[in-house]
Structure 1
Amino acid sequence: MQAVLSLKKYLKPYMPFAIIAPLMMVLEVAMDLVQPTIMQHIIDNGIAKKDTPYVMQMFGLMILCAVIGLIGGAGCSIYASKTAINFAADIRQDLYETITYFSNSNKDHFTLGKLITNITSDVEMLQRALTMLLKIFVRGPFTFIGAILIVFLTARELFPILLVVVPILALSIIFFTKLSGNLFLKVQEAVDAVNTKVQENLAGIRVIKAYNRKSHQIQQFTTVNETLMKRNIQADQIIGILMPLTAFVVNMGIIAALWLGAIKVENSTIEVGVILAFINYLMMIMGGLMSSSAVLMQIARAVPSANRIAAVLGEQSEIISAEHPVTTPIKGSVEFDRVSFAYNKNNEPVLKNISFKAEPGETIGIIGMTGSGKSSIVKLIPRMFDADQGSIKIDGRPIKDYDLQTLRGAIGFTPQKATLFSRTIEENVKYGNEEASLEELIEALECSCALEFVEKLELREQYMVTQGATNLSGGQKQRLAMARAFIRKPAILILDDTTSAVDSISEKRIQQAIEENFEDSTKFIVSSKISSIRHADKILVLDDGVVVGQGTHKELLENNKPYQEIVSTQLVRGGTLNE
């Protein structure tokens, strides 16, 4: 319940709507409660006495009450919907912003499938619960209490029936509501598993096809889907039992009312209209309890969702700016001093005691075997992760002293996997600098050798990239990703194995463009190819997270055995490097 209370701040801006909606519903309920009493008077005072003018007058009153009730019900629906939809939209917006600022470890903690469920299904569950709370939950208790009071005042002879029926109904609803709450938590967990499986399979669809594992993946999805199905069936069956049970109890009450009413009519202690009114009120009581139970069950479903949403919103990102961050423009000096880092704090570090220094304008090449920690080094520079030991300084200041926006704004980062968005090529490249001009866009595309294929597209820069960039080749995606970093004209340029799908001629042209256009930038080039880093001012050779060599290509070729071994594996038959 604490989680539900923590979300009440999202309701405050729409509190006027949230107050008007129940008031309008009270108006509708009041009109509904009057109807059986009017009908009782029509039967006992009009029809029984053959007073036609009185009957017509009462009919007119019934129509007026119905119209007023219609206005109240429509108004309640309008204002309740406005409140719930805006409430849900604000939570969804905050969830998205929170997730955007999460570090990788935060995302791993929740898993992508669960975060997707949070921002979709869980928010939808809260929206539905609030809508029902403002509409039906007001109607239910008011109808229930009003009907009981009216029966007590107008049909006291039949009131003992309610003393039996109402407690049975109330206990049944409380029992089934509590039971359904636990079941719906398991349903949401099953939804997480389905979302995770779908996201995983869609991301790896090419691998699935290449290895002909479609049947295997379908079987895996079938397993999680069946789990969700079974939990949904179990939860719905519990709810399904409540309706016939309630109807049975009410029907027994009606039978008892007719039996007892017949005796009272025969004894002339009550009139026929009173019995009919009582049956109507009994049905109202059942309706009030059932609608209240529906809301309680929806709330029972929403509480686990609220807990999950509150957990995400309350999660503190491990990567945050300092209390009084430095916003001084960055020049590009980078220094690692005995830095160690592990993705999982319980495992062995992937980087061990790393030390080096890069001056503004220098090019630092990083090479090593797969899994040696090359990418991990450059991920620490924009603070994708924080080092566990040692210090990283930029322009002589500890990296944690910088404002995150200032730090990352000075870095052009191209990760191993080129990620493009389902927008135009122009929008994808300008992601690095929204204020860039058309000339700067063309220059960035030219530097990355992307202009040559962009010019051949029908819409050139306005060509729409599909989701996952499936309408571009691997090399085209890499070149556009580099253009996005280039257009930023950053103080620190990081290229993490970004030419693996680029041909050697284009790679040489990209290297030349970098030398000419980013002379003042500190450049980090991660690669498994000697040809990509041989011209660097300093090359770091990594082996199992340790720097085993540091120097120029020539120096390392003369005195560093690990580097010599890498070079020897990349020699062609003629004895020259395969560039």
Structure 2
Amino acid sequence: MSSLKVLYAYSKGLRKYFVAAILFVIIETSFEVIIPLLMSDIIDIGIVQKDTSVFIEKGIQMMICALLSLICGLLYARYASKAITLYGEKLRSIQYAKIQEYAFINLDHFETSSLITRLTSDVTVIQNSLINGIRPFARGPVILLLGLVMSFIINKELSIIFLFTTPVLGIILFFIVRKVAPMYKYLQKAVDRVNQIIQENLTAIRAIKAFVRDEYEEDKFEKVNHDLAKISQDTFHYASFNTPAFQFTMYAAIVGLMVLGVQMIQAQTMQVGELTGVLSYVLQIMNSLMMISNVFLLMTRSIASCNRVVEVIQEPIELKSPSLPLTPKDASIDFNHVYFKYDQNAKENVLTDIDWHIPSGSKVGVMGATGSAKSSLVQLICRLYDVSDGNIKIGQVDVRDIDLVQLRDMVGIVLQKNTLFSGTIKENLRWGNPHATDEQIKEACKIACADEFIEQMPDKYDTYIEQGGNNISGGQKQRLCIARALLKEPKILILDDSTSAVDTNTDHKIKEGLANMKSLTQIIIAQRVSSIIHCDQILVLEDGKISAVGTHEELLANSEFYRGLYLSQQKGANL
């Protein structure tokens, strides 16, 4: 229930709408409960005594009650829809804002498909529970209590039957909820798996078509879709026991009342109108119990979704800005005996004892075999992850003592996986600087050699980029990402294998353009020696450890790995 308390706290500002909705339901229900009592008077007084004035008086009262009930029902619908719609919007916004605060290590705790499900399906489940739950939640107890009171007022002896039927219904509800409650959690996880397969399929649709894996993907989807259907079937199968069980108890109670009522009428201890009134209240009371049971089932399902939403909201942010941030003196970088692993419970480190100094304004290269932790190394600089041991300093200040916004503003990073968003080229570039002028955009594109292909496009900088940049080549995507990073005007620029898809000539031009930016500290991760041969120093990583550091000439003399890589690439270039 703690998750319900958390979500209740986020209803602040909307509670007045919820209270108004519940209040109007209670008033509406109160008028409905009075109607059978008026009807009893019509039968016992109006019909038996043939008093026409009773028909008119009680009939008008019944019409007034019905009209007021209708008005209250309409007001309930207005306030309930407003409350639930705004609450769903608020929950989605809170989750989305929280995800934006996540560090990479937080995102590692969730599947992307699961986060999508939590923002959409789980919030919808909560909304549906409220839509279908507020009315019976308010009506059920009111009808139950007032119905019992009214039926006892009409005839105490006949109403004793409720003391037997109510516990039976409670026991049925207990066993149904106990069985169904754990199943809703598995149901939402099954939805996660379906979303994951759909997401992977749509993201990799070109590869699927190229390798003719359509049938294989269809089989994968059929399996998870079947699993979802099976779990849904089992869950709703047990939940559906609720209605027939309650109907059986209700009709059994009606039969019992009819038998007792007929005997009491024959013994002249009760009138026909009283029996009619009690039977009306039986229907209302049984329906109220069914409403209450449905509310429990709705709560049971929504609690699973509430827990999942709260997991996103209460995920502890691993990386935070310091309370008293410091400002770096320059753009120098120092790795002081840095150790790092993605999971603190992992047995081995990804990076081990990295001790390295990068002077401000210098150009350094990083090389190593696949899996040598090159990308992990540079991601620590802008605190996409925190070090496990040791520290990293920028301008003699520990990165953990620098405000996160300031730190990431001073570091421009182009990761291996280039990401562009749907929108124009200009809109994508302005991610680097929302206030960049057209001249600044063109200058950044010129350094990144992106102007070469942009100027050839019909709409130039207003050319529309599809989601993920699917309508441009990999090399064009890389150059746009470099230009976007340059628009930040960073003090440190990290290029993580970001020219791998461009030709050697273009790569050379980009390096020449960057070389003119004298005050910029550059870290270049590359597979081609030609991309880093000009660097002031080159770091060679092997299995997350420093193998060698030096200039191109020094590494040719001292590093067997670097020398072998250089000679193999030279040999390939001469073929």
TM-score (norm 1): 0.94
Contact 2:328 2:397 in 1 (8 A): no
Aligned to 2:232: 232
Matches of 2:427 and 2:531, distance apart in 1:
28
Contact 2:358 2:364 in 1 (8 A): yes
User: Displacement of 1:310 after TM fit?
Assistant: 2.2
1:460-494 alpha-carbon deviations (Å, 9 max, x no partner) = 33333222222222112111111110111100111
1:148-193 alpha-carbon deviations (Å, 9 max, x no partner) = 1100111223212222222222221222123221221221222222
1:213-233 alpha-carbon deviations (Å, 9 max, x no partner) = 332332222222222211111
Aligned to 2:134: 134
**Secondary structure of the corresponding residue to residue 412 of structure 2:** strand
1:63-121 alpha-carbon deviations (Å, 9 max, x no partner) = 21111111211212222222223223222222122222222232222322322222222
Aligned to 2:422: 422
Matches of 1:50 and 1:100, distance apart in 2:
75
Contact 2:328 2:395 in 1 (8 A): no
Contact 1:340 1:353 in 2 (8 A): yes
Contact 2:494 2:522 in 1 (8 A): yes
1:54-133 residue pairs with structure 2 within 5 A? 54-133=54-133
Contact 2:425 2:465 in 1 (8 A): yes
1:405-484 residue pairs with structure 2 within 5 A? 405-484=405-484
Tell me whether 1:221 sits opposite 2:184 in the alignment: no
1:294-443 residue pairs with structure 2 within 5 A? 294-326=294-326, 328=327, 331-345=330-344, 346-443=346-443
Contact 1:495 1:525 in 2 (8 A): yes
User: Displacement of 1:133 after TM fit?
Assistant: 4.2
User: Displacement of 1:234 after TM fit?
Assistant: 1.0
Matches of 1:200 and 1:17, distance apart in 2:
41
User: Displacement of 1:55 after TM fit?
Assistant: 1.5
Contact 1:497 1:527 in 2 (8 A): yes
1:240-274 alpha-carbon deviations (Å, 9 max, x no partner) = 11111111111111122222222222232222222
Matches of 2:204 and 2:496, distance apart in 1:
22
Matches of 2:486 and 2:48, distance apart in 1:
92
Aligned to 1:523: 522
Matches of 2:498 and 2:316, distance apart in 1:
32
Aligned to 1:560: 559
Matches of 2:40 and 2:277, distance apart in 1:
6
Aligned to 1:204: 204
- Alpha carbons of 1:45 and 1:458: their partners in 2 closer, same or farther (altered >3 Å)? farther
Matches of 1:416 and 1:549, distance apart in 2:
23
**Secondary structure of the corresponding residue to residue 392 of structure 1:** strand
Matches of 1:145 and 1:272, distance apart in 2:
23
Contact 1:330 1:491 in 2 (8 A): no
Matches of 1:389 and 1:312, distance apart in 2:
28
Q: Which amino acid aligns with 2:537?
A: K
Q: Which amino acid aligns with 1:540?
A: L
1:22-62 alpha-carbon deviations (Å, 9 max, x no partner) = 11111100111011112222222223333334313322222
**Secondary structure of the corresponding residue to residue 465 of structure 2:** coil
User: Displacement of 1:385 after TM fit?
Assistant: 1.3
Q: Which amino acid aligns with 2:366?
A: I
Structure 2 spans left out of the alignment, 5+ residues = none
Contact 1:410 1:492 in 2 (8 A): yes
Contact 1:161 1:253 in 2 (8 A): yes
Q: How many residues align?
A: 574
**Secondary structure of the corresponding residue to residue 97 of structure 1:** helix
- Alpha carbons of 1:151 and 1:399: their partners in 2 closer, same or farther (altered >3 Å)? same
- Alpha carbons of 1:168 and 1:146: their partners in 2 closer, same or farther (altered >3 Å)? same
Structure 1 spans left out of the alignment, 5+ residues = none
Q: Which amino acid aligns with 1:119?
A: L
User: Displacement of 1:209 after TM fit?
Assistant: 3.1
User: Displacement of 1:288 after TM fit?
Assistant: 0.8
Matches of 2:329 and 2:16, distance apart in 1:
49
Contact 1:330 1:407 in 2 (8 A): no
TM-score (norm 2): 0.95
User: Displacement of 1:536 after TM fit?
Assistant: 1.2
The share of aligned pairs that are identical, in percent, is: 36
Contact 1:178 1:300 in 2 (8 A): no
- Alpha carbons of 1:275 and 1:102: their partners in 2 closer, same or farther (altered >3 Å)? same
Query: Which stretches of structure 1, 4 residues or longer, exceed 6 Å deviation after superposition?
Result: none
Contact 2:328 2:396 in 1 (8 A): no
Matches of 1:128 and 1:411, distance apart in 2:
45
Matches of 2:134 and 2:254, distance apart in 1:
30
Bigger drift between 335-344 and 482-491 goes to 335-344
Matches of 1:332 and 1:310, distance apart in 2:
40
Q: Which amino acid aligns with 2:462?
A: Q
User: Displacement of 1:573 after TM fit?
Assistant: 6.3
Matches of 1:556 and 1:5, distance apart in 2:
61
Matches of 1:336 and 1:567, distance apart in 2:
27
User: Displacement of 1:411 after TM fit?
Assistant: 0.9
Contact 1:329 1:406 in 2 (8 A): no
Q: Which amino acid aligns with 2:25?
A: M
Give the CA RMSD over aligned residues: 2.0
Matches of 1:462 and 1:444, distance apart in 2:
16
Contact 1:368 1:542 in 2 (8 A): yes
- Alpha carbons of 1:169 and 1:408: their partners in 2 closer, same or farther (altered >3 Å)? same
Matches of 2:112 and 2:51, distance apart in 1:
72
